[in-house]
A = this chain, B = another copy of it.
Amino acid sequence: MDGQAKRNNYLDENFDRFVGHLEEWLAIPSISTLPEYAEDVRRAAHWARERLTAIGFPEAKLVATAGHPLVYGEWQVDPRQPTLLIYGHYDVQPVDPLHLWSSPPFQPTIRGGNIYGRGTSDDKGQVMLVLAALEAWAKVDAGLPVNVKILLEGEEEAGGAAIADYVRSHPEHLQADAVLICDTHMVNAEQPSLITGLRGILYTEIVVSGAKTDLHSGSYGGVAPNPLHALCLLLGRLKGEDGSIDIPQLAAAIPVPSPADKQFWQDDPLHIEEALKAEMGVSAMVGEGAYPALERIGLRPTLEVHGIRGGFTGEGAKTVIPAEAVAKVSLRLPANLDPNEVFGWLEEAVGNKMPSGYRFHLTNLHGGRGLSVNPDNPYLRAAAKSVEAIFGALPVFMREGGSIPIAALFAEVLKVPIVLLGFGLPDDRIHAPNEKFSLNQFRQGMKTVADFLGRIRF
């Protein structure tokens, strides 16, 4: 039995224990955006540090930040071997609406070959498969094949301010030959894929004010400003029914796609558009019909409203005209754009489009650049070979619509290849009720990462 076979064997023999570890970690509700869960976030960080120590990392510690702590581990095995920096996050999204979960979000539950719970796919499950791969090397080969630095953050779902500060201020400490990130998904279980592009993100709050107090719609309806209606008018003007975003500087800044990308998007050889429709349960897509669906996800910017607060939304009837209303609005951006510059464009557009009779204020909650990776580098080629070895199919190179701002930051600061090797599936419902992770993907992911670690050794 060669080394990889032994390691695969080890991963199979210990698979139930790895699932158990993951269940332990998932049971900690490490919701980073809600202050009342701060202690749970810290517990989840401690849990990860203890796993690194158990695997054999000589160095494994928590790094204090202005926000939630970072977990850092380092294992230098041979200065002649390359150094891989592995990134992941141990925080999770909020869980509301809670009543739509079939099993409690923090009581991980296995049904039909999937493990259900908040963080299963995004990202505890994917970090855990990396930890399993590292353990397989540590136990079967008495050490890792390459030098490894691992950095886990607790604010990925909350803007990632702490890790961004840390990476910018510690470029030499984090220096590596490549960065591995397991926090994305494949096209489907039969068609593995590697991500070569991510969109940037800008997340904002728009506060609109009208009268100085809430008003009764009988006594004042007809003369009173209604900030909820102003937000509706504004958001309808910022993005039309056809999906077009009316921010002139943004429209002018969208890059021209490469002929190869354009061809892939037009041909859609993997029938991803049909798969997306099935996942969404819709017969027709909404958005910019003039562009192929894959281009709309891979390159085009978006503007989405995530929630509108103000007035009365409880049971029954309340005839209030609120004094103030707030919209949570994000934009996904082509990789070439700076979210802070786009925020200025958005502020200007909101000013131009706001109905008269209202005051408004925008807050830039967080932002991060996108990423565009050249697939022609040894680490991405190695990853493709590992995927082929374990999944039995060549991966396609894809642009993914989500944002991992830290990936762009690593590329900018460390100037090394970023390998986005994710094992999620499109129906994992990340950020939504009933998030799950396929146990088969969990198993194959461990083996793929273990294979990759051996393949990048000189």
Give A residues with C-beta under 8 Å from B: 32-35, 93-94, 96, 100, 157-159, 185, 199, 201, 203, 210-226, 228-229, 231-233, 235-237, 239-241, 243, 273, 276, 280-282, 284-288, 293, 296-297, 300, 302, 304-322, 326, 328, 330, 332, 355-358, 365-366, 400-403, 426, 429-434
Structural contact, B326 and A313, CB atoms closer than 8 A = yes
Complex Cα gap A427–B366 (Å): 40
B contact residues around A328 at 8 Å (CB): 311-313, 317-318
Complex Cα gap A364–B358 (Å): 30
Structural contact, B158 and A317, CB atoms closer than 8 A = yes
Structural contact, B311 and A307, CB atoms closer than 8 A = yes
B contact residues around A273 at 8 Å (CB): 223
Structural contact, A286 and B210, CB atoms closer than 8 A = yes
Q: List 26 A-B contacts (CB under 8 A).
A: A94-B314, A203-B319, A213-B434, A214-B429, A214-B433, A217-B302, A217-B330, A220-B276, A221-B304, A222-B302, A223-B285, A223-B287, A224-B285, A224-B286, A228-B308, A229-B235, A229-B304, A232-B235, A286-B356, A306-B311, A306-B319, A307-B318, A307-B322, A308-B308, A312-B328, A318-B431
Q: A306-B312, A310-B307 are in contact. Are A288 and B222 (CB under 8 A)?
A: yes
Q: Which of B241, B300, B318, B402 contacts A94 (CB 8 A)?
A: B318
State the 10 A-B residue pairs at the shortest beta-carbon distance, nearest first.
Answer: A218-B402, A33-B316, A212-B281, A222-B296, A214-B432, A307-B311, A221-B302, A307-B313, A309-B313, A211-B280
Q: A306-B318, A308-B313 are in contact. Are A213 and B432 (CB under 8 A)?
A: yes
Structural contact, B33 and A315, CB atoms closer than 8 A = yes
Most buried by B among A239, A288, A357, A403: A357
Q: How far is the CB of A292 from chain B (nearest CB, A)?
A: 10
Q: How far is the CB of A409 from chain B (nearest CB, A)?
A: 17
B contact residues around A365 at 8 Å (CB): 316-317
Complex Cα gap A21–B366 (Å): 53
Known contacts A212-B281, A226-B286, A306-B311; 20 further A-B pairs (Cβ under 8 A): A94-B314, A158-B316, A199-B218, A210-B280, A211-B280, A216-B430, A216-B432, A217-B302, A218-B332, A223-B280, A223-B285, A225-B280, A228-B307, A232-B235, A233-B241, A306-B322, A307-B310, A307-B312, A316-B365, A320-B432
Q: A210-B282, A355-B241 are in contact. Are A222 and B297 (CB under 8 A)?
A: yes
Q: A93-B318, A306-B319, A310-B307 are in contact. Are A218 and B400 (CB under 8 A)?
A: yes
Complex Cα gap A453–B311 (Å): 40
B contact residues around A226 at 8 Å (CB): 286, 304-305
Q: Which of B219, B228, B288, B366 contacts A297 (CB 8 A)?
A: B219
